[in-house]
Structure 1
Amino acid sequence: MRATVSTRKKTASEMIRAYKTIEDDDLKFPLIYGEGKKARVMATIGVTRGLGDHDLKVHDSNIYIKPFLSSAPEVRVYDLSKYEHGADDVLILATDGLWDVLSNEEVAEAITQFLPNCDPDDPHRYTLAAQDLVMRARGVLKDRGWRISNDRLGSGDDISVYVIPLIHGNKLS
C-alpha cells in the first residue's frame, strides 16, 4: 500500500471527516487484542487512552478506531435503601492501577482486615483504608523493582482509590 501526499488545498467539504461504516469484513481482526494491561482495541490503543484520538487507525490498515470507542460510561445503580449496611460496608472506586495487580478478593480481604482495626468514629478511617490499598498495589521497593505479595510486580500505573462508606445512605433515608 502506498500513500501519496497532495499539495492541493482542500475544500471545506473535503475537510469534513466522515467515519467509515464498519462492515463484517472489518471485524476479522480481533476487536480486543491481548489481556490485562496489554489489552488493546484492535491491537492499537488502550481503551481509556483513545477517547479523543479521532484520527487513530488500526495498525497497518485504513480503519479508524473511533467508532469502536465510546465516552458513554457504563452505569450501574445500587439502591442503598434496599439493604442494611454496617460501618465496614464500603464501595471501592479505583483506577486500573489497583485492579491490574489486585483481584476483587484481595481488595475485599484487605478492607475486611483494615477497617475493623480502626476506630469507627474516626472520620479518616476510609481515607486511611484507601491509602492502605494504594500501598498494597504499589508494593515495596526491592532489588528487583516494586513488588507486592507473592513477589508479584507492583503497579507501575497511576493508582487512585476511593473507599466510600455505604452506611451513610441508610442514615440519610
Structure 2
Amino acid sequence: MSFLNSILSAPTQVQNSQDAIVSGGGLSHNGKFSYGYASSPGKRSSMEDFYDTRIDGVNGEIVGLFGVFDGHGGARAAEYVKKNLFSNLISHPKFISDTKSAISDAYNHTDSEFLKSENNQNKDAGSTASTAILVGDRLLVANVGDSRAVICRGGNAIAVSRDHKPDQTDERQRIEEAGGFVMWAGTWRVGGVLAVSRAFGDRLLKQYVVADPEIQEEKVDKSLEFLILASDGLWDVVSNEEAVTMIKPIEDAEESAKRLMQEAYGRGSADNITCVVVRFLTHHGTSTHSSSGGNNGTAHGTSGGNHGPSHGNSGGSHGPSHGTSGGNHGPSHGTSGGNHGTSHGSSGGNLGPSHGSSGVSHGTSHGNSGGIHGPSHGSSGGNHVTSSHGSSGGNHGPSSHGSSGGGNKNLPNAGYK
C-alpha cells in the first residue's frame, strides 16, 4: 500500500442515515456566562466531529472548558482528544499558575498518548482542536488545524485563532525545514495528502504536522459579548462577520449554535457541522489582546466562588430553563432543591449521533427528543452529580451521556514530569 493510500484508506465511522442536529447548553451558577452547542453530520454519511463543554473546579477555581474537534481519516483521533485533552489540562500542575504553558503541554501530551494508543500501523487518523478556557476574567483560546474561534467584541467580529494551512508562509517554511513538502492536490496539502499543517495524530506525517497550539488570551469584560467555536463545516460557507451578525440578536446560546449549524447546512456545506457558542452576560473592565504560540508566557488567573452551573427549573437562585426544539415533544420537567439546577437539552426530528459532552458542576440534566434516535457519545470525569435522562418518542438507539464536572478537587498530574 502506498504512503498516500495508507492515509486515505483509513475507515470512517458510518452512522445511521437519519441524522440531524443534536444540541444542548447550560448557564453558569453565578450567571456570568451561558453556553450552547449544536452538531450534525450534515450531508455526510459519517460523523468525525466531536465537541466538549465542561464547567469544573480546580484548586478552588471555577473554570469553563469548551472545544470542537474535527477528525480526518476516521473518528478515532477526534474522539480520543475529546475524551482526554481537558482532563490532561486541568490535571496539569501549572494549570492555574501558568495556564498557557499548561495548555501547550496538554496538547502535546494528549497527542503523544494518542499516537502510543494507535496499534494498527496501516491506519492513520488525525484531528483539529479549537478550545476555549475560561479562568476568572481570562479567556484563553488555543487551536491546531482549521476549526476556528471568533469572538464578538463591541459588536465586531474578531478571529481569535488562525487556520493552520500548509500554504501559509511560516507553516510551509517549518514543514520544509523539517524535511517535508507542500504540493497542490485540489488544495495545498502536506506531502500532497493533508490539508492542515497542524493536528493531533497523523502519525505518518508527524514530523511535519505538529500539535503545538497557538494560544491567544482575551480579557473577559463588558465589551466581550460572545465566542463561537466551530468546525470548518461552518466556516467553509459562513464568514466570521456573517456568523457574528447572524446570532447577535439571539440571546440563547443553544439557539445561537443551532442557527449557525442550520445556516451552514442550508448554504450547502459538504462537511460535518459543529458549533459551540459561549455568551458572556455580565462583565466589567477594559479590552486587551495578546497571543502566543507554543510554550509562551505565564498566565495567572483567579475565579471566585465554589460554584457550578445552575440549569433549568429548581429551588434556590438559578438560571433559566432550556426547553425543547423541533419534532413532537412532550414537556420535560426537572426540579431540584438547594443550589442545583436542571438542564434541559433537546433535539427534534430524526436524530443521529451526538459526539461530545456538556458538563456541569451540580444539578440534574434532563434531555428529551422526538423522532428516530441514534447513539450519543459523551464522557465524564471527577466526582459528579448524577445525570438523569428524560424521555423521547419514536425509535431509539443506545444512548451514552455527557459529563458533569465535580466541585473543587486536587487532581493527579496525568503523567507530567
TM-score, normalization by structure 2:
0.24
* Pair 1:128–1:39, CA change in 2 (3 A): farther
1:155 is matched with 269
Q: For 1:19-52, what per-residue CA distance to the aligned partner results, in whole angstroms no more than 9, with x for missing partners? A: xxx775956x43x6468xx442232113389632
Which is richer in strand?
A: 2
CA distance in 2, matches of 1:76, 1:41: 25
**Unmatched 5+ residue regions in structure 2?**
1-174, 285-302, 305-417
Counterpart residue number, 2:193: 44
1:50–1:126 Cα change, 3 Å: closer
Gaps of 5+ in 1: 1-21, 57-64, 119-124, 140-147, 149-153
Q: 1:49-83: per-residue Cα shift (whole Å, max 9, x none)?
A: 963232x3xxxxxxxx3221112222111111xx3
User: Residues of 1 paired with 2:283 and 2:188: CA distance?
Assistant: 36
Tell me which of 259, 270, 276 is aligned to 1:132: 259
Cα distance, 1:76–1:102 mapped onto 2, change above 3 Å: same
The alignment partner of 1:160 has SS state of strand
The structure with the larger Rg is 1
Question: Quick check: 2:199–2:211 contact (8 Å CA) kept in 1?
Answer: no
State whether residues 185 and 192 of structure 2, in contact with CA within 8 Å, keep that contact through their aligned partners in structure 1. yes
CA-to-aligned-CA distance 1:98-142 (integer Å, 9 cap, x gap):
111111111112112x42xx5xxxxxx110010000000011xxx
Structure 1 CA distance for aligned equivalents of residues 199 and 229 of structure 2:
21
For residue 105 of structure 1, what is the aligned residue in structure 2? 241
**Structure 1 pair 70/168, CA: closer, same or farther in 2 (3 Å)?**
farther
Q: Which has the higher helix share?
A: 1
CA shift, 1:164, in A, is 0.4
- CA RMSD, 1 decimal: 3.3
**Residue aligned with 1:129, SS:** helix
Secondary structure (helix, strand or coil) at the match of 1:71 reads: coil
What SS does the aligned partner of 2:201 have? coil
Distance 1:168 1:161, change over 3 A: farther
- Under a length normalisation based on structure 1, what TM-score does the superposition of the two structures give? 0.53
